[in-house]
Structure 1
Amino acid sequence: MSESKTPTPIPAGDTYKGWVFKWTNYIKGYQRRWFVLSNGLLSYYRTQAEMGHTCRGTINLATATITVDDACNFVITNGGAQTYHLKASCEVERQKWITALELAKAKAARMQAESDDSGDDFSPSSPSAAPGKGAGSQNLEFHSAMRTLGSKVEDLSTCNDLISKHGSALQRSLSELDSLSLTGEAGEKIRQVTERATLFRITSNAMINACKDFLTLAQTHSKRWQKALQAEREQRVRLEETLEQLAKQHIHLERALREAAQTNPCADSKSVSGPGKGEVSDDDDNEFFDAMEEAPEFITVPADPQFHKRSSSNVSGFNSEIYQDDQSLNEEPMATNQESPSQELVPLKKRRARIPDKPNYSLNLWSIMKNCIGKELSKIPMPVNFNEPISMLQRLSEDLEYHELLDKAAKSHNSLEQMCYVAAFCVSAYSTTVYRTGKPFNPLLGETYELDRQRESGYRSLCEQVSHHPPAAAHHAISDRGWTLRQEITVASKFRGKYLSIMPLGTIHAIFEKGNNHYTWKKVTTTVHNIIVGKLWIDQSGEIDVVNHTTGDRCHLKFAPYSYFSRDVARKVTGVVMDKTGKAHYVLSGTWDEKMEFSRVMQSSRGGENGTEGKQKTVYQTLKAKELWRRNPLPEGAETMYYFTALALTLNEPEEGVAPTDSRLRPDQRLMEDGRWDEANAEKQRLEEKQRIARREREREALNQRSSSTSEEGAPHDNYQARWFDHTKDKITGESVHVYKGGYWEAKDQGNWEDCPDIF
């Protein structure tokens, strides 16, 4: 089996919860229920929402019996009064529940026995008092704590004696004053003081009596407390041993499963999402989902191998002509899959394969991020310690890492086949993010970046920062191989405390000369987890619709969010390519960090209803899946070079003839790449202040123009205009966008950069 799932560890503490299938009756069979194990009690609910108001049943584990039926089933009975027949999703999941239930049962029985006999003697030197290798140090800590508590109790007793002594002396003095024959105001004051002293004496006596009761209670129950503390320590040791045993069992099961898959390749029954080869199952008991996981929208099963040899078919309205046009996708590898760039295109120079290693600078992330909760991060100055030494414009150019997919799409003879490559290109753009937790530099207004790979790969790319608030970058790439890619991306980001959400706004356009096919799609949300504690990791989630506006074809891609309890492979992406009538032709599957595959749909039908959602799943019969895209391996030593890809390592490489606004010439970014972070931080502050001064100057000019203009309404506060892009309305989407107006490459050939602003 090529992928292994991360096991669900038994959580520390007394609470364990999750979905388990419970037998109800012979009509409904097993039904999915939410079980909660807490304080020795096992309770269940129909849904998590019921936990606050409706419990469907509870068993006290102190007197319960737990038995195992088979690999996934187990039974819990409480003296015949209550019996639960339960089924886990797999043997590993069942073992987790059995272990948690046995631990809870042992603890509940032990606590019940202790409540019946709380006066038993306890000897810290007994063998049971010293489990594990660290028992000696634990006993020393235990006795030290008891000595400290005993000392505090003695101090409390001494304070009681002092309060009693001084209170009696104060009372005698007040009685002597009261015996004096004083009249008038002095006598009245003495009587008031006497009354208050009497109240204070009563309160002090009550406190003294309470302290004596506490002292007596502490001395009486100290042995019971010592025993309870030792029981908790033994419980911890047993839990650690159980976790270690469970981890070994999981490793053994994974190894056995891999060996079985190697011995019998047909045993790998998971396709996109659903039952294995040769079966279509409507039994929802064979599926297991946690609370955050959504049911799959469709199921794929292998089609009859002889299906394509039939002369005619009446299933699912199958169009044999379309199939004949692109049957090479499943009959044999396409010629374009085997092609490499033309041998006539030779590199201008050897590109670099290394950059200086990342310095080991320590910085308290939380001390800075705690003031950013709920704010737009693009408006907050951040030190370069959080960055990677490339700008957002260069990061945007990295979308072309797998430009070969667009080259293949440009050569496709069928629009549906072309859609598969465009969808794969859409997914491939996220493969560079899996380890990249560093933040790109926010581009300065007017900053540009060119990526000229015409000789090597046939394309040229230009990015420009066209707006500062909101920050927006326009990108235009054109290839000699028949495609054009353009986009304008605005990044919105919010820090929520535990995680950071990055929402790219804007539409990506891909236009192909052959067939004049015009595709559009948007990006999904990127989430950076463990901002406060733990190792940073990145997830992509959301849905993308890739639309061919020329033919009406559509591909719906779904990026599944990471789920701790999910049985599916992590970072999963699924998709269906459909024509304008909604008929499915291809199913895509894979992960956004590794590879994508596609399968030809031969037949589709509606399956049974999903028991939890009440929706019908579509079952697709497909031919054998073939690889569409695979991620390139990272360069050697990438972990010390910000996990840059081979392309990313060359993005900031100095080049001659670029515009003076090019990101390669940005001084703070260059200093950071060289490892001089303190100087880079100072230079970054200088550039940002220079940018603010330029913005204020533009605002003053705009204000003067508005004052002298006859029409004051609607005048802009900032009259900035991009150098290489025109602000216009997109004819396809109707959005207000910046489109490349031309002239950059001509200016580069002439070396004429007179109109470029001075931003560095």
Structure 2
Amino acid sequence: MKGRGCWETGSIRSFCNAGCLNKFHKDDSGDEEPASQSDKSELHGPLKTLSSKLEDLSTCNDLIAKHGAALQRSLSELENLRLPAESGEKIKAVNERATLFRITSNAMINACRDFLDLAESHSRKWQRLLQHEREQRIRLEETIEQLAKQHNSLERACRGAPGLAAPTTSISSTAKGSVQPAKGEASDEDEETEYFDAMEDAPAFITVTADPKHHRRSGSNLSGASEGHPEDWNLEDSVFESSNQSSYNESTCKDLLPKKRRRTRIPDKPNYSLNLWSIMKNCIGKELSKIPMPVNFNEPLSMLQRLTEDLEYHELLDKAVKCESSTEQMCFVAAFSVSSYSTTVHRTAKPFNPLLGETYELDRLEELGFRSLCEQVSHHPPAAAHHVYSRRGWTLWQEITIASKFRGKYLSIMPLGAIHLEFHSSGNHYVWRKVTSTVHNIIVGKLWIDQSGEIEIVNHKSKDKCQLKFTPYSYFSRDVPRKVTGVVSDADGKAHYVMSGTWDEKMECSKILHSSHGSSSTEGKQKTVYQTLSPKVLWRKYPLPENAENMYFFSELALTLNEPEERVAPTDSRLRPDQRLMESGRWDEANVEKQRLEEKQRAVRRRREAEAVEALEEGKDYEGYIPLWFERKVDAVTGELICVYKGGYWEAKEKQDWSVCPDIF
């Protein structure tokens, strides 16, 4: 009879009787450790209850099937009787309804089975999360135990040699809360600090810290060791180690003047509440620069000032000038490229979009040896040109266009454009590009920022390269969050240094002594094993100022960027009224002023468009907007059209002749 096959419940019963609870404890990934007995009992209970309820439903289903079949047989017998036509039609209709009822009950049972499958799947996921947290706790306990052992060993060594300094081989200087194990001692921390994931476009690699004494004895017999002897690392120590002693309040150049006293705080951020969703819900898929946003979501700095903030760790480039080896210099350049992201970890507010023609200068030539100039050279798309000159031997320039898309749950920010760095004495010319920044939890939850992607730094003179990978955050990953890894290699592709660290804390480099091919990774890629010397810290993030959480999480440098300064150009970001009002805590006035400035800019653009139409009608050429202090040229290295500094700004500042500056504020 029609529909009778839907009543088979053997598959349901076999699902329950086959032991779905035992199947629950099998791991789909294949590499997880089994759950503990307490976890099993915690997760076993709810599943056992669900399974029992499903058995009850299956029993009811069997009864419905039994009585439904009997009912349909009776109805069929009635149909065979000689009844009036009207009664036969009614019986037929009842029969069809009984069939539909049986099909519906069977569908309900199938839905219950799917529900149990889903519960089982989620239970496995929570089991893995619980196991991961337990492993993290065990690793932390073992690290603390290892630290205690090393502390005792250090104390014994000090007591044995009271006239000597503490030995440096037991504990090497690393990031806060991280300890390098003493020579000859094993530590589970090695799994995090010395093993790296496969890079997308490069083979996976593992670093193994070598014993320096052993390699001093047998260094000449190493095949594939990097050029020079292992002792060369010690010759470079003076340059590498000095990077640990720098700070924003110190100067390494004796001929510079004492620093000007700068401000150390700004007014606390007011507690304004605003519904972000009411503004953003109609803007999904649009570019961020085209969304009219109130200052409530801004920080009191412009994009030009944020671009200048990349120079916070400029002393890395000062140290790079002193490097004799181009691959060693590349390590400092790589650390500098990573350091610019350290200011973003807590900075979830949006900087002001600069007005067309807006500029920002940072003249620290007498204090820190460099001076910087930024100008907004295009409005659609928004583009800023940046030029930095350092009397310590380097020049940096870039043109950055920010492409951004609001995706509903997150915001993607893609900086476009190349960064150029040239060292005066050697002529080494480095080029790299920024990675993608992602702002998560735009609508619900606490905002947080992640960096992901790869940076390839190329020295176009020596052809050295550094491949850096920014690993995206994953809740299920055992990696250190915000991890950055990479390899520095020469023109022949020979690896010289391994880079490792995090973009919010520190970067280290380890000199490679020997490389060999290891086993294949899970993705099928060949692993390369690098035998290295102990890592050297090149860069470490400065601690934030006191009360930073109430001052937009600004660093010491960021607090000074919007400080009022005399003799700057009338287009300087420090003079922007809406930004100044916002910094003072007068947000309502700042929003009114922001709308006025944006309308003033739109009026200028409409006038420029009318001039272009008029020139076109008259058959004349129309040049469009021309930047004040920068000019467009084809870059000889990348072949791209880029805005480069054409000169004149600092001379105009010296004469205080700002006649060429437009009235934008």
Residues 35 and 127, structure 2, Cα contact 8 Å, conserved in 1: no
What do residues 515-559 of structure 1 show as CA deviations (whole Å, max 9, x unaligned)?
A: 111100000000001112111110000000111011111100000
Q: Where does residue 736 of structure 1 map in the other structure?
A: 641
Q: 1:575 aligns with which of 456, 481, 486?
A: 486
- Kindly indicate whether the alpha-carbon contact (under 8 Å) linking 1:346 and 1:455 is maintained by their aligned counterparts in 2: yes
SS at match of 2:591: helix
Shift in alpha-carbon separation, 1:87–1:696, aligned structure 2, 3 A: closer
Shift of 1:484: 0.6
Alignment partner of 1:643 is 2:571: no
Alignment of 1:369 with 2:280, yes or no, is yes
* CA shift for structure 1 position 381: 1.4
The separation in 1 between residues aligned to 2:551 and 2:191, in whole angstroms, is 35
Equivalent in the alignment of 1:258: 143
Task: Look up the match of 1:758.
Answer: 663
CA contact (8 A) 2:197 2:205 kept: no
| Secondary structure of the corresponding residue to residue 398 of structure 1 | helix
Any residues of structure 2 matched to 1:105-144 within 5 Å, and which?
Answer: 105-112=47-54, 114-115=56-57
SS in 2 for 1:455: coil
- Once residues 606 and 572 of structure 2 are traced to their aligned partners in structure 1, the CA distance between those partners, rounded to angstroms, is 23
1:101 CA drift (Å): 5.3
**Aligned with 1:302 (options 209, 213, 220):** 209
Q: What secondary structure does 1:320 align onto?
A: coil
- CA distance in 1 between counterparts of 2:239 and 2:633 reads 45
1:414 and 2:414 equivalent?
no
- Tell me the matched-pair count: 568
Distance 2:304 2:490 in 1: 35
Amino acid at match of 2:287: E
CA distance in 1, matches of 2:444, 2:404: 20
Q: Does 1:64 align with 2:19?
A: yes
* Change in CA separation of 1:537 and 1:361 when aligned onto 2, cut-off 3 Å: same
Q: Work out whether residues 412 and 436 of structure 2, in 8 Å CA contact, stay in contact via their aligned partners in 1.
A: yes
Q: Give the Cα separation in 2 of the matches to 1:684 and 1:251.
A: 48
Partner residue, 1:596: 507
Give the counterpart of 1:672 among 582, 589, 603: 582
2:653 is the alignment partner of 1:748: yes
Cα offset, 1:371, TM superposition = 1.0
Residue 394 of structure 2: aligned partner:
483
CA deviations on 1:606-626 (whole Å, 9 max, x unpaired) are 11222x322111111111111
Distance 1:535 1:585, change over 3 A: same
Q: 1:447 to 1:347 in 2, by over 3 A?
A: farther
**Equivalent position amino acid for 1:312 in 2:** S
Paired position in structure 2 for 1:268 = 187
List aligned pairs for 1:361-510, cutoff 5 A: 361-510=272-421
TM-score by length of 1: 0.68
* Cα distance in 2, alignment partners of residues 97 and 114 from structure 1: 27
Shift of 1:628: 0.9
Cα distance change, pair 116–756 in 1 and its aligned pair in 2 (3 A): closer
Contact 2:239-2:323 within 8 A present in 1 as well:
no
User: In 2, are the aligned partners of 1:607 and 1:617 still within 8 Å (CA)?
Assistant: yes
Aligned-partner Cα distance in 2 for 1:531–1:697: 37
Q: 1:549: which partner in 2?
A: 460
Could you tell me how far apart the structure 1 residues matched to 2:268 and 2:27 are?
A: 58
Structure-2 separation of matches of 1:683 and 1:112: 65
Cα offsets for 1:659-704 (capped at 9, x unmatched): 0000000000011111111111111111011111111222222333
Instruction: Give the C-alpha shift of residue 311 in structure 1.
Output: 5.4
Deviation at residue 500 of structure 1 after TM alignment: 0.6
* Counterpart residue type for residue 729 of structure 1: V
What is the aligned partner in structure 2 of residue 687 from structure 1?
597
Structure 1 letter corresponding to 2:536: K
- Deviation, structure 1 residue 345: 2.8
Aligned to 1:521: 432
Native 8 Å contact 1:272 1:574 kept in 2: no
TM-superposed CA distance for 1:453, in Å, is 1.1
Q: Contact (CA 8 Å) 1:498, 1:530: kept in 2 or not?
A: yes
Letter in 1 for 2:187: D
The more displaced of 585-594 and 530-539 is 530-539
What are the superposed Cα offsets for residues 288-324 of structure 1, whole Å, 9 maximum, x if unpaired?
Answer: 99xx999972111122432144352351264227x66
Judged with a 3 Å threshold, the aligned counterparts in structure 2 of structure 1 residues 97 and 567 are, in CA distance, closer, same or farther, namely: farther
- Indicate the larger mover: 462-471 or 326-335: 326-335
CA distance in 2, matches of 1:549, 1:96: 59
Q: What residue is the counterpart of 1:316 in the other structure?
A: 224
1:227 corresponds in structure 2 to none
Contact 1:728 1:737 in 2 (8 A): yes
Q: Is the 8 A contact 1:521 1:547 kept in 2?
A: yes
Contact 2:431/2:459 (8 A) holds in 1? yes
In structure 2, the residue matched to 1:8 is none
TM-score normalised by structure 2 residue count: 0.77
* 1:230-245 matched pairs, under 5 angstroms: none
Identity of aligned residues (%): 58
**Based on CA coordinates, which of the two structures has the bigger radius of gyration?**
1
Deviation at 1:707, TM superposition (A): 3.4
The change in CA–CA distance for 1:293 and 1:95 in structure 2 (over 3 A counts) is farther
Structure 2 vs 1, CA of residues 329 and 62 (structure 1 numbering), >3 Å: closer, same or farther?
farther
The one-letter code sitting in structure 1 at the alignment partner of 2:49 is K
Change (3 A) 1:705 1:327: farther
SS at match of 1:501: strand
Residue type at the aligned position of 1:319: E
Aligned to 1:171: none
- Structure 2 unaligned runs (5+)? 1-10, 62-85, 102-115, 150-180
Aligned to 1:148: none
Inter-partner Cα distance in structure 2 for 1:87 and 1:533: 31
Q: State the Cα distance separating 1:382 from its structure 2 match.
A: 1.0
Cα distance 1:293–1:754, how it changes in 2: closer, same or farther (>3 A)? Answer: closer
C-alpha distance 62-634 of structure 1, shift in aligned 2 (>3 A): farther
Q: In the superposition, relative to structure 1, how do residues 371 and 402 fare at CA in structure 2: closer, same or farther (>3 Å)?
A: same
> What secondary structure sits across from 1:354 in the alignment?
coil
RMSD: 3.9
Relative contact order (alpha carbons < 8 A, sep ≥ 6): 1 or 2 greater?
Answer: 2
Give the partner amino acid of 2:142.
Answer: L
Cα deviation, residue 439, structure 1: 0.5
Instruction: Give the one of 551, 570, 583 matched to 1:660.
Output: 570
